[in-house]
């Protein structure tokens, strides 16, 4: 997604004569948006469909979406924190925790599902609030503070469920992974709703403040931005997204596992970086990270259908990650050189 600052640049700026209104390089616009990662995704999907014609039927698409949704939502939450110039490791803890809660206390029916959703959001929000308090108010380094909360959440998850098991309610497991009218994957819809919300949030004062504190915290503070509240809210919102990711993960695996969040920890950062969001804050967007997550998931499929030896899939993933980040960085730099 485009940087908020440039979102307006295409607006009414009447001329390029004015100082500062340097004409934006088209490439630059591309990198600021999710253009690059979107392009990569389409390319990979074409490749995948070429190798595996069944990739285009609605079941396969839904399965891919189901597979993508947890990482996409986790990466979305991580993006918020990264935009505010932070790192959130608690992602692994929150997802594990919501997963075991859903598996140990399944609530049947649509009403139960709604309640489960609220529980997930509450768990994520609560952990996020603790993170936010530690980072924004007690001024701990985010990576260190969230490391501690991650360990604690993992511990709580193990206390609730000490071995994989339990069953997520059927309604969640079936409906959230199903298709509406046999076509539209529900998991995709959930991700779309999150993206839609993000597009709205980006246009609020909070959204602007988020980018502001990520780029230059002292300046934002002196401009009247309430840095602590913004940072606090960011962790809470991120936590809620992890909770949602936990819900989608539970829907897909239909069971509880106290370690289920761990694999998503580093992947979420990879997805964020792949989406072109700057790890030093203030630049990037949530949609791009979602696409980054989708690309990572799709990459596995493509590597599988290409028949790459399983031993070496990591090699390809690593190389693609580096190349994509280098490429997006290059485009950004070319664009910034006016």
Residues in 98-117 that interact with another protein by CB under 8 A: none
User: Minimum distance from CB of 202 to another protein (Å)?
Assistant: 9
Close Cβ partners of 323 (under 8 Å, ≥ 6 residues apart): none
Q: In whole angstroms, what is the distance from residue 227 CA to residue 157 CA?
A: 32
Q: By CB under 8 A, tell whether 134 contacts another protein.
A: yes
**Scanning residues 65 to 94, which ones bind another protein (CB under 8 A)?**
67, 70-71, 89
User: Which one of residues 65, 120, 212, 290 is an interface residue with another protein (CB under 8 A)?
Assistant: 212
Q: By CB under 8 A, tell whether 324 contacts another protein.
A: yes
User: Minimum distance from CB of 118 to another protein (Å)?
Assistant: 23
User: Which one of residues 31, 177, 289, 295 is an interface residue with another protein (CB under 8 A)?
Assistant: 177
Contact criterion met (CB below 8 Å) for 290 and 76 = yes
Of 110-118, 183-191, 276-284, 285-293, the window that binds another protein (rule: CB under 8 A) is: 276-284
Beta partners for residue 179, in sequence order: 185
Q: In whole angstroms, what is the distance from residue 19 CA to residue 221 CA?
A: 26
Residue (183 or 200) nearer to another protein, CB: 200
Q: By CB under 8 A, tell whether 200 contacts another protein.
A: yes
Count, residues near another protein per rule CB under 8 A: 134
User: Which one of residues 37, 76, 102, 160 is an interface residue with another protein (CB under 8 A)?
Assistant: 160
DSSP helix/strand/coil, 260: coil
Instruction: Decide: residue 206, CB within 10 A, 0-12 exposed, 13-18 middle, 19+ buried.
Output: middle
DSSP helix/strand/coil, 275: coil
Residue 92 in tokens? 């692994």
Q: By CB under 8 A, tell whether 182 contacts another protein.
A: no
Residue 85 in tokens? 């110039």
User: Which one of residues 38, 47, 49, 197 is an interface residue with another protein (CB under 8 A)?
Assistant: 47
Q: By CB under 8 A, tell whether 304 contacts another protein.
A: yes
**Scanning residues 17 to 36, which ones bind another protein (CB under 8 A)?**
17-22
Residue 51 in tokens? 């190798």
Contact criterion met (CB below 8 Å) for 105 and 223 = no
């Amino acid at each position: 997604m485009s940087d908020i600052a440039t979102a307006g640049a295409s607006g009414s700026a009447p001329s390029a004569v004015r100082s500062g209104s340097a004409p934006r390089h088209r490439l630059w616009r591309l990198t600021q948006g999710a253009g690059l990662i979107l392009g990569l995704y389409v390319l990979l999907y074409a490749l995948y469909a070429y190798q595996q014609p069944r990739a285009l039927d609605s079941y396969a698409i839904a399965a891919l979406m189901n597979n993508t949704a947890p990482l996409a939502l986790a990466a979305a939450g991580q993006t918020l924190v990264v935009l505010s110039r932070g790192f959130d490791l608690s992602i692994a803890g929150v997802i594990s925790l919501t997963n075991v809660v859903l598996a140990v206390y399944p609530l049947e029916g649509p009403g139960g599902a709604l309640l489960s959703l609220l529980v997930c959001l509450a768990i994520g929000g609560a952990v996020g609030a603790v993170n936010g308090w530690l980072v924004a108010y007690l001024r701990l380094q985010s990576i260190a503070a969230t490391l501690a909360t991650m360990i604690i959440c993992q511990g709580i998850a193990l206390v609730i469920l000490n071995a994989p098991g339990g069953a997520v309610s059927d309604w969640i497991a079936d409906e959230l992974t199903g298709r509406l009218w046999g076509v539209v994957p529900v998991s995709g819809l959930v991700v779309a709703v999150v993206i839609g919300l993000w597009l709205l949030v980006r246009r609020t004062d909070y959204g602007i403040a988020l980018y502001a504190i990520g780029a230059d915290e002292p300046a934002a503070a002196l401009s009247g931005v309430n840095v602590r509240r913004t940072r606090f809210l960011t962790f809470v919102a991120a936590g809620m997204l992890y909770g949602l990711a936990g819900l989608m993960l539970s829907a897909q695996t239909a069971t509880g596992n106290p370690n289920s969040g761990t694999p998503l920890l580093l992947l979420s950062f990879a997805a964020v970086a792949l989406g072109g969001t700057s790890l030093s804050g203030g630049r990037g967007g949530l949609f791009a990270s979602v696409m980054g997550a989708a690309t990572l998931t799709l990459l596995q499929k493509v590597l599988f259908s290409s028949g790459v030896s399983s031993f070496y899939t990591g090699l390809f993933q690593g190389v693609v990650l580096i190349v994509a980040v280098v490429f997006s960085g290059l485009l950004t730099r070319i664009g910034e050189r006016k």
